[in-house]
Amino acid sequence: MTGQVRTVDGRVAGRRGQATRQKLLDCLSEMLSSSPYRDVKVIDVARKAGTSPATFYQYFPDVEGAVLEIAEQMAAEGAGLTDVLAERSWVGKAGWQAAQELVDGFLEFWRKNDAILRVVDLGAAEGDKRFYKIRMKILNSVTNSLTDTVKDLQDKGKVDKDVNAAAMAGSLVAMLASVASHQKGFSTWGVKQAELKPNLALLVHLGITGKKPTK
Amino acid sequence: MTGQVRTVDGRVAGRRGQATRQKLLDCLSEMLSSSPYRDVKVIDVARKAGTSPATFYQYFPDVEGAVLEIAEQMAAEGAGLTDVLAERSWVGKAGWQAAQELVDGFLEFWRKNDAILRVVDLGAAEGDKRFYKIRMKILNSVTNSLTDTVKDLQDKGKVDKDVNAAAMAGSLVAMLASVASHQKGFSTWGVKQAELKPNLALLVHLGITGKKPTK
DNA sequence: CGGTAAGCTGACGGCATGACAGGACAAGTG
DNA sequence: CACTTGTCCTGTCATGCCGTCAGCTTACCG
């Protein structure tokens, strides 16, 4: 299904090739964490990986292409977000707990992968299809799960019918993502992480169930 | 207050100088709307402005510097967001209206300035102080106003005391900003703008007042 | 051991960067 | 009108990154 890993000029990559390819990706990842996206140069990545720029171009069309690759890996292995939500009840105290754990898991996931995520976010915001597809892929597990939850509650008559489940879920997820990327901004602003989380959880709970949580 | 406009090498810019400087900024703005941030080159901006790269470097240290300048202008002139909220009541039907108008105004503002805003967002997410200061400046009017509203409702006993007003306001604003940048993402996802807005307004209302709106 | 494909790199033309010195230009002065 | 002054712009240049190619080295296989 995944197909073989191929070089730009069509050869199939063998063991050694895949290793250098991966090393390049790792180094790129590191670079993205330590310097602004705009200043990440192919030559630096190559140097850091102990190889030459030409090698980089053998495996990736450009920096963007490599970033997409990293994001793809993250989306694949990083089920990360999936299990945060599996089959949870949103009624009563369990609901409050679900909201809290969702927030926790989400922020943690974002913190771990912030460098790539903000590049993906930029690409998506710029309207690049490849980027917003992968962004969706990453957020899908959470968004879909939340959407289903809302629909479910609507069927049971616990949530107003005029709520658009997908829009609500998407908005909440967007909020979490945005807050996660700008945590530093919040703290200079005088809001500590510890204070932030319960408020986010509260908003999530309000959004999903329409009611204040019972704690 | 603003001080004189100065060139990089310290001279004060006269009438003609300010004009070309502004032209460069305008062209940069356009460029940012039409091509990815990473690919915006000084030479292109200069060409578009009918001048040379050397001229660009006379007025700005680099592309980042110029972007900050544009953002600063936007923050200054673009009170834009301020009047969306002036002295509004959040009780009863008025509250629902306030929420709707806030969402409307916010999305509109973002749509108008999306190109610069997403670059500012990136800079802020990357931890650049200059960028997140200006981001705060832009969002401050709304955030502060919302914060005050929440505090006010808390004083009147209408909102739980354990809500952190600033965290709540900040989170809601972050949500609006994020959704605004990714509207295209939402639409490929099957959620139309018209459906999005009321849901955002609902969330804002829930967050601020803790209650469902009376429509 | 020879053939084949994978893997890597030196080298190169092309282009962007960023600095400088000097020319063009407007405005004020005697 | 010539002269001065200070602003404004650009030609040019050294430097460095980009992206490609030909060609060399290495690994694998019969």
On whether any CB of chain A is under 8 Å from the CB of B207, the answer is yes
Q: What is the mean pLDDT of chain A?
A: 92
Least confident of B6-10, B118-122, B133-137, B150-154: B6-10
* Distance separating alpha carbons of residues B210 and B204, to the nearest angstrom: 9
User: Which residue do the tokens 């990842």 mark?
Assistant: A29
Distance B140 CA to C19 C1' (A): 39
Q: What is the mean pLDDT of chain B?
A: 91
Residue B51: which of B31, B23, B93, B29 has the closest Cα?
B23
Burial category of A209 from C-beta neighbours within 10 Å (exposed 0-12, middle 13-18, buried 19 and up): buried
Residue B145: which of B96, B202, B204, B203 has the closest Cα?
B204
On whether any CB of chain B is under 8 Å from the CB of A163, the answer is yes
CA of B171 vs chain A CAs: smallest distance (Å): 6
Burial category of B53 from C-beta neighbours within 10 Å (exposed 0-12, middle 13-18, buried 19 and up): middle
Average the pLDDT over B165-189 and give the result.
Answer: 93
On whether any CB of chain A is under 8 Å from the CB of B196, the answer is yes
Dump pLDDT digits (tens) for A140-181.
Answer: 889 999 999 999 999 999 999 999 999 999 999 999 999 999
What are the tokens at A5? 């890993």
pLDDT tops 80 at residue B83: no
- Report the share of chain B in percent with pLDDT over 70: 97
What are the tokens at A69? 């690759």
pLDDT tops 60 at residue B20: yes
| Chain B environment of A195 (Cβ under 8 Å) | 164, 167
Query: Between A63-77 and A129-155, two packed helices, what is the crossing angle to 10 degrees?
Result: 30
Nucleotide nearest to B44 (CA to C1'): C16
A 88-127: CB under 8 A from B? 114, 118, 121-127
pLDDT at B1: 41
Least confident of A7-16, A74-83, B48-57, B96-105: A74-83
Nearest residue to D9 via alpha carbon and C1'? B55
Least CB-CB distance to B178: which of A178, A185, A199? A178
pLDDT tops 60 at residue B2: no
Helix (H, G, I), strand (E, B) or coil at B124: helix
Dump pLDDT digits (tens) for A83-139.
Answer: 777 778 899 999 999 999 999 999 999 999 999 999 999 999 999 999 999 999 999
pLDDT at B55: 95
Least CB-CB distance to B199: which of A64, A171, A195? A171
Interface test with A, best of B182, B184, B189 (most A CBs within 10 A): B182
B130 touches B45 (CB < 8 A) = no
Q: Name the phi and psi angles at A67, rounded to 5.
A: -60, -45
Q: Which nucleotides of D are covered by protein (CB under 7 A)?
A: 6-12, 16-22, 27-28
Least CB-CB distance to B170: which of A121, A184, A191? A191
Question: Which position has the higher pLDDT, B83 or B177?
Answer: B177
Q: So where are chain A's domains?
A: 1-61, 76-209
pLDDT at B189: 76
CATH label, A1-61, candidates 3.40.1390.40, 1.10.10.10, 1.10.10.60, 3.40.50.800: 1.10.10.60
Q: Name the phi and psi angles at A181, rounded to 5.
A: -70, -20
pLDDT at A111: 93
A177 touches A108 (CB < 8 A) = no
Nucleotide nearest to A11 (CA to C1'): C6
Q: Name the phi and psi angles at A75, rounded to 5.
A: -65, -35
Torsion region of B211: left, alpha or beta (phi above 0 gives left; psi -120 to 50 gives alpha)? beta
Using CA atoms, how far residue B156 sits from B105, B145, B165, in Å, is: 28, 17, 14
Q: Name the phi and psi angles at B6, rounded to 5.
A: -125, 150
Residue B112: which of B70, B143, B145, B147 has the closest Cα?
B70
pLDDT tops 60 at residue A214: yes
- CATH 1.20.140: does it fit domain B76-209? no
Dump pLDDT digits (tens) for B91-104.
Answer: 999 999 999 999 99
pLDDT tops 90 at residue A198: yes
Interface test with B, best of A113, A130, A171 (most B CBs within 10 A): A171
Interface test with A, best of B132, B134, B171 (most A CBs within 10 A): B171
On whether any CB of chain B is under 8 Å from the CB of A151, the answer is no
Dump pLDDT digits (tens) for B33-80.
Answer: 999 999 999 999 999 999 999 999 999 999 999 999 999 999 887 666
